[in-house]
Amino acid sequence: MTVAGPETDVRRFAADGTRIFAYGTRETDYLAERDPRLGEVIAAVGHVERPVDPDLCSSVIHQIIGQQISTKALATIWARTQAALGEVTPGSLLAAGEERLQSFGMSHRKAQYITAFARKVDSGQFDLEALRHMDDAEATAALCTLDGVGVWTAEMILLFCMERPNVLSFGDLAIQRGLHMVHHHRRITPALHRRYLRRYTPYASVASLYLWEVAGGAIPGLKDLAPKR
């Protein structure tokens, strides 16, 4: 089944001019019909403004830096990186070198990953712009050939850089927590995840935005019933 694109009420920029993930009532109405419990969340939360970065190079770097650290730490390291390098490009990253990249607060391993990525793009060994012409599975597979990029990182790039509409990451613990809280599951199995992906297709990315909000405490009273690790 082919579903039309966003309605005319789609929002692309926040009030401060920041570019945000674009969606409108076509997506939210569809999701609410497919999942009434999620529909209640959508009605309670309202429009979610999640920033996106349309630049593939800086998005890859941003996602690598952000692996397994807090949002606050990521913001600090990213601000230092931008302040020092100006435009984050393969050339500026290679000119900085691994030691200087580490001085911004990232680990040695991440500095190595980023330098290797910059070298591949700068040499033409990896064609970033070709990703835009691939489907989700192809783009994910291509990104996963890069050092330091796994499926979760690739999926975040698809969503928050390329604005792909149908991303629901099984590897994202906050997505799993949101599903626990909305649907009172105690465990999200791969099969259960696939069931929700089918339910939310072709607008799973918008569902992800709301599940992240739920996991972050946007709906008072909703509890995570998952077993404690």
Measured over the CA atoms of residue 46, residue 191, residue 71 and residue 61, the dihedral's sign is: negative
DSSP 8-state symbol, 23: E
> What are 147-197's pLDDT values in tens digits?
999 999 999 999 999 999 999 999 999 999 999 999 998 899 999 999 999
**What pLDDT is recorded for position 178?**
95
* pLDDT per position as a tens digit, 107-139: 999 999 999 999 999 999 999 999 999 999 999
Q: CA torsion sign, 66 to 102 to 110 to 130?
A: positive
One domain, residues 183 and 105: no
Return the structure tokens found at 67: 């692996």
Using the 3D structure, point to which of 140, 160, 180 is the last residue of a domain: 160
Among the three residues 116, 134, 160, which one is the final residue of a domain in this structure?
160
Contact assessment for residue 51 and residue 163, using Cβ atoms and an 8 Å cutoff:
no
- Classify residue 202: in a domain, yes or no: yes
Q: How far is CA 122 from CA 90, 93, 125, 127, in A?
A: 6, 10, 8, 9
Q: State the chain's mean pLDDT as an integer.
A: 92
Nearest by Cα to 204 from 170, 157, 173: 170
Range of the domain at 89: 56-160
pLDDT of residue 141: 98
Task: Indicate whether 226 belongs to any domain.
Answer: no
Q: Which residue has the tokens 């992240």?
A: 212
Q: How far apart are CA 116 and CA 121, in angstroms?
A: 9
Residues 143 and 87 in one domain: yes
Asked if residue 227 belongs to a domain, the reply is no
Q: How many structural domains are present in the chain?
A: 2
Q: Are 29 and 114 in contact (CB under 8 A)?
A: no
Structure tokens at 84: 């020092």
CATH number at residue 189: 1.10.1670.40
What is the pTM (predicted TM-score) of this model? 0.90
Q: How confident is the model at residue 221 (pLDDT cuts 50, 70, 90)?
A: confident
